[in-house]
Amino acid sequence: MELYQLTIHELLDRLRVGETTSVAITASVFGRIDTVEKEVHAYITLMRETALAEAERADERIRKGEIGALTGIPVALKDIFCTKGVRTTCGSRILENFIPPYDATVVEKLRAAGAVFTGKTNMDEFAMGSSTETSFFGVTRNPWDLDRIPGGSSGGSAAAVAADECIASIGSDTGGSIRQPAALCGVVGLKPTYGRVSRFGLIAFASSLDQIGPFTKDVEDCAIMMNVIAGYDPRESTSVPEEVPDYRRFLGREIEGWKVGIPKEYFIAGIDPEVEAAVRRAIRVVEGAGAKCIEVSLPHTGYCLAVYYIVAPAEACSNLARYDGVKYGFRSGEGRDLMEMYKKTRAAGFGAEVKRRIMIGTYALSSGYYDAYYKKASQVRALIKRDFDEAFAKCDVILTPTTPTPAFRVGERTDDPMQMYLSDIFTISTNLAGIPGISVPCGFTAAGLPVGVQFLASHFQEGRLIQFASAYEKQAHIEQRRPTV
């Protein structure tokens, strides 16, 4: 085994006993990056020099016996998190030269825990997409099949973990942008409860839906990352002052007697048969561990996509009004007056998908349409949330496929926005209801593409998700394959 192939907990075990060093681990990861990055293109910006300096400092601390939760571990950051002094693009031309003057709270927390930052990962522009194809900085490839997309919007963060170009990474999830790429790249991805992780310094897409979470190689690493990033932040007014448990306590516990809700609306026509078969096997695994599966209903599931594609663009068009060529980022030199400068800057600075969503949002909020679109969507959102409240009165967790299909081909859906939007059909409801969700690998298709199973729990029950996912992972005996890249 190479060092870059190991998990956080395996590496920490070796660091603690002096069997390896952070410099060796970091050099191993960058060696791997040198081998595969030209094919995968998981990163927008690499932080090689600062990483090696951070690794040296981590080794000094380890020698003094000061080992934190992530001391010396190479971690990648989605390029949506502000990093002081390091270019942060959000995948967009309009921020191609933006150098933040401060760190996001999650970046501060990871740094304080001792993480070594490898770089900023590729993403759909402003996190708007399901394939990482809308990035201004090129397409990321799925490490399991380079002709296919890694999912999105946090495709770079998922691909980097799958291809061993970092040990773990951080992404953001507005409608599935952690869980969907985690499923398509065969890694673990968790979207916490809304408010659980501070969004300070996260470039905003849809502020009532955005949430930050980890990509890891296994569930134990997920718990380690959550211990570092979760918690209240006085700088973020929607972060919740709820106690954060030690998530590692939930690892390795039994799930016997747990009730698992299987929502009938998630096993629909159009779901890929191999995906369905893998998820049905996952159901048998948790039953084998003593859990009891019951059918539940989430009757408004069929409306989630329509609600999401009103609410998210409405919030986005307002959040993206700040990109006007004045305070930071790209400015077109063509405008003769202020209004022309705004329009030419935004027309040249944003890509097609971002413009499409700004247009939908502006339309949905505009005079005469507000009630028909935004208000109506917010009312249906209330019903979607109620569906989950009612389901969780009957079960401890809900089990669904993470995605309806395995990774699709690069270019396959770029010309058809509706087809692209359908790839998030099983993940969007979670964000609308604000509940946590985790995607865990549950097998492979015959063509060797990974499949993910999603577990959902009620608000602030990330510990329950980690317990369930850990028990599943232990029982499932998913074949330990590695991508061929």
Partner 1 sequence: MEKIRIRKEEVAHVAHLARLEFSAEEMEKFTAQLNDILLYMDKLGEVDTAGVEPVTHAIVRKNAFREDAVGASLPPEASLANAPEARGGCFQVPKVIE
Q: Annotated catalytic sites, by residue?
A: 78, 153, 177
* E strand segments, 60-135: 74-78, 116-121
471 binds partner 1 (CB under 8 A): no
Q: Which is nearer to partner 1, 288 or 411 (CB)?
A: 411
Q: Is 291 helix (H, G, I), strand (E, B) or coil?
A: coil
Q: Which stretch binds partner 1 (CB under 8 A): 41-49, 163-171, 255-263, 355-363?
A: 355-363
Q: Which of 63, 102, 252, 447 binds partner 1 (CB under 8 A)?
A: 102
208-228 b/e with 16+ CB inside 10 Å = b? bbbbbbbbbbbbbbbbbbbbb
382 binds partner 1 (CB under 8 A): yes
Q: Which of 20, 378, 405, 414 binds partner 1 (CB under 8 A)?
A: 378
Residue closest to 79 by CA, chosen among 119, 132, 134, 19: 119
Q: Which stretch binds partner 1 (CB under 8 A): 17-25, 57-65, 322-330, 396-404?
A: 322-330
Q: Going by C-beta distance under 8 Å and a sequence separation of 6 or more, which residues neighbour residue 435? A: 193, 388, 456, 457, 458, 459, 461
45 binds partner 1 (CB under 8 A): no
The footprint of partner 1 on this chain (CB under 8 A) covers a number of residues equal to 70
Q: Which of 77, 107, 116, 358 binds partner 1 (CB under 8 A)?
A: 358
317 binds partner 1 (CB under 8 A): yes
178 binds partner 1 (CB under 8 A): no
98 binds partner 1 (CB under 8 A): yes
Triad 308, 313, 316: Cα angle to 5°: 125
Instruction: Label each residue of 257-289 as H, E or C.
Output: CCEEEEEHHHCCCCCCHHHHHHHHHHHHHHHHC
Asked if 422 contacts 305 with a C-beta cutoff of 8 angstroms, the reply is yes
Q: Which is nearer to partner 1, 262 or 306 (CB)?
A: 306
Q: Which stretch binds partner 1 (CB under 8 A): 122-130, 140-148, 178-186, 378-386?
A: 378-386
Q: Which stretch binds partner 1 (CB under 8 A): 152-160, 250-258, 289-297, 379-387?
A: 379-387
Residues in region 123-162 near partner 1 by CB under 8 A: none
Residues in region 335-354 near partner 1 by CB under 8 A: 335-344, 346-347, 350
Please report how the helices 304-319 and 376-392 are oriented relative to each other, as an axis angle in degrees rounded to 10: 120
Q: Is 192 helix (H, G, I), strand (E, B) or coil?
A: coil
For residue 340, the surrounding DSSP H or E stretch is: helix 338-349
Ramachandran angles phi, psi of 257, nearest 5°: 85, -5
256 binds partner 1 (CB under 8 A): no
377 binds partner 1 (CB under 8 A): yes
Least distance to partner 1, CB of residue 481, Å: 37
Q: Which is nearer to partner 1, 20 or 318 (CB)?
A: 318
CB atoms within 10 A of CB 140: 34
Binding to partner 1 by CB under 8 A, coded x per residue (else -) over 420-449, reads: ------------xxxx--------------
C-alpha distance across the termini of the chain, in Å: 16
What is the distance between the alpha carbons of residues 163 and 177, in angstroms, rounded to a whole number? 18
- The contact set with partner 1 (CB under 8 A) reads 97-99, 101-102, 193-195, 208, 234, 237-238, 240, 300, 302-303, 305-307, 309-310, 317, 321, 324-331, 335-344, 346-347, 350, 355-356, 358-360, 362-363, 366, 373, 375-383, 385, 417-418, 432-435, 459
